[in-house]
Amino acid sequence: MSLPRRVLVANRGEVARRVFRTCRRLGIGTVAVFSDADADAPHVHEADLAVRLRGVAPTDTYLRGDLLVDAALRSGADAVHPGYGFLSEDAAFARAVIGAGLTWIGPPPEAIEAMGSKLAAKARMAAAGVPVLAGGDATGLDHDALHALAADAGYPVLVKASAGGGGRGMRLVRTAGELADAVRSAEREAESAFGDGTVFVEKYVEAPRHVEVQVLADRHGNVVHLFERECSIQRRHQKLIEESPSPAVDDELRERIGKAAVTAAAEVGYVGAGTVELILTPDGEFAFLEMNTRLQVEHPVTELVTGLDLVEWQLRVAGGEPLSPEVTGAAVTGHAIEARLYAEDPAHDYRPATGALHRFSIAELEGVRVDSGVEDASTVSPHYDPMLAKVIAWAPTRDEAIRRLAAALAGARIHGVVTNRDLLVSILGQDDFQSGRTDTAFLERHDPVALTAARRPAGTVRLHAAAAALAVQAHRRATATTWRQAPSGWRNSPSQPQRCTLIGDGRELEVNYALGRDAVQLSVDGEAIALDLMSASANEVDLEVDGVRHRLEVSIRGATIDIDSSLGSTSFAVAPRFVEPGSQLAAGSLIAPMPGSVVRVAVAQGDTVEAGQLLIVLEAMKMEHPVTAPTSGTVTSLAVTAGQQVDGGQVLAVVEPASEADGG
List interacting residues with ligand ADP (CB under 6 A).
58, 84-86, 133, 158, 164-167, 202-205, 208, 210, 234, 237-239, 277, 279, 289-290, 292, 296-297, 384-385, 387, 440
> Which residue number places its CB atom closest to Mg ion?
277
Q: By the 8 A CB rule, do 373 and 17 touch?
A: yes
CA angle 596, 602, 606 (to 5 degrees): 115
Q: How far apart are the first and last CA of the chain?
A: 76
Q: By the 8 A CB rule, do 545 and 522 touch?
A: no
> Is the Cβ of residue 277 or residue 298 nearer to Mg ion in the bound state?
277
Q: By the 8 A CB rule, do 474 and 486 touch?
A: no
Q: Which does 368 bind (CB under 5 to 8 A by kind): Mg ion, ligand ADP, none?
A: none
Burial class of residue 549, CB neighbours in 10 A (0-12, 13-18, 19+): exposed
> Is the Cβ of residue 277 or residue 371 nearer to Mg ion in the bound state?
277
Beta-strand relationship, 608-609 and 560-565 = unpaired
CB 168 → ligand ADP: shortest distance, Å?
6
CB 109 → ligand ADP: shortest distance, Å?
19
Q: Which does 270 bind (CB under 5 to 8 A by kind): Mg ion, ligand ADP, none?
A: none
CB 244 → ligand ADP: shortest distance, Å?
14
HSE-up of residue 242 (Cα within 13 Å, Cβ side) = 27
User: 381: which residues sit within 8 A by CB, 6+ positions away?
Assistant: 37, 38, 56, 354
3-state secondary structure of 77: coil
Q: How far apart are CA 516 and CA 521, in angstroms?
A: 8
CB 621 → ligand ADP: shortest distance, Å?
27
HSE-up of residue 274 (Cα within 13 Å, Cβ side) = 32
> Is the Cβ of residue 296 or residue 597 nearer to ligand ADP in the bound state?
296
Q: Which does 204 bind (CB under 5 to 8 A by kind): ligand ADP, Mg ion, none?
A: ligand ADP
How far from chain centre, in Å, is Cα 218? 32
Tally Cβ neighbours within 10 Å of residue 238.
15
> Is the Cβ of residue 433 or residue 490 nearer to ligand ADP in the bound state?
433
Q: Which does 521 bind (CB under 5 to 8 A by kind): Mg ion, ligand ADP, none?
A: none
Q: How far apart are CA 577 and CA 620, in angstroms?
A: 13
Beta strand spans in 245-329 (E): 272-280, 286-292
CB 391 → ligand ADP: shortest distance, Å?
15
Burial 117-139 (b: 16+ CB within 10 A, else e): bbbebbebbeeeebebbebbbbe
> Is the Cβ of residue 277 or residue 439 nearer to Mg ion in the bound state?
277
Q: Which does 296 bind (CB under 5 to 8 A by kind): ligand ADP, Mg ion, none?
A: ligand ADP
Q: By the 8 A CB rule, do 620 and 592 touch?
A: yes
Beta bridge partners of 30: 7
Q: Helices marked H in 519-617 — which ranges?
A: none
Query: Which residues ranging from 275 to 294 are in contact with Mg ion (CB under 5 A)?
Result: 277
Q: Which does 420 bind (CB under 5 to 8 A by kind): Mg ion, ligand ADP, none?
A: none
Q: How far apart are CA 46 and CA 35, in angstroms?
A: 15
CB 345 → ligand ADP: shortest distance, Å?
18
Q: Which does 239 bind (CB under 5 to 8 A by kind): ligand ADP, Mg ion, none?
A: ligand ADP
Q: How far apart are CA 183 and CA 171, in angstroms?
A: 8
| Interface mask toward Mg ion for 600-619; x: CB under 5 A | --------------------
> Is the Cβ of residue 311 or residue 640 nearer to ligand ADP in the bound state?
311
> Is the Cβ of residue 390 or residue 421 nearer to ligand ADP in the bound state?
390
User: What one-letter code names the amino acid at 308?
Assistant: L
CB 102 → ligand ADP: shortest distance, Å?
22
| Interface mask toward Mg ion for 248-277; x: CB under 5 A | -----------------------------x
Residue 297: closest CA among 219, 380, 405, 386: 386
> Is the Cβ of residue 293 or residue 571 nearer to ligand ADP in the bound state?
293
Q: Which does 297 bind (CB under 5 to 8 A by kind): ligand ADP, Mg ion, none?
A: ligand ADP
Q: By the 8 A CB rule, do 640 and 621 touch?
A: no
CB 316 → ligand ADP: shortest distance, Å?
22
Beta bridge partners of 573: 503, 560
Q: Which does 164 bind (CB under 5 to 8 A by kind): Mg ion, ligand ADP, none?
A: ligand ADP
CB 164 → Mg ion: shortest distance, Å?
8
Q: How far apart are CA 585 and CA 192, in angstroms?
A: 44
Q: Which does 311 bind (CB under 5 to 8 A by kind): Mg ion, ligand ADP, none?
A: none
Q: Which does 279 bind (CB under 5 to 8 A by kind): Mg ion, ligand ADP, none?
A: ligand ADP
Beta bridge partners of 508: 503
> Which residue number places its CB atom closest to ligand ADP?
85
Q: By the 8 A CB rule, do 604 and 637 touch?
A: no
> Is the Cβ of residue 22 or residue 275 nearer to Mg ion in the bound state?
275
CB 277 → Mg ion: shortest distance, Å?
5
Q: Which does 225 bind (CB under 5 to 8 A by kind): Mg ion, ligand ADP, none?
A: none
CB 172 → ligand ADP: shortest distance, Å?
8
3-state secondary structure of 578: coil
CB 153 → ligand ADP: shortest distance, Å?
9
> Is the Cβ of residue 234 or residue 569 nearer to Mg ion in the bound state?
234
By the criterion CB under 5 A, which residues form the site for Mg ion? 277
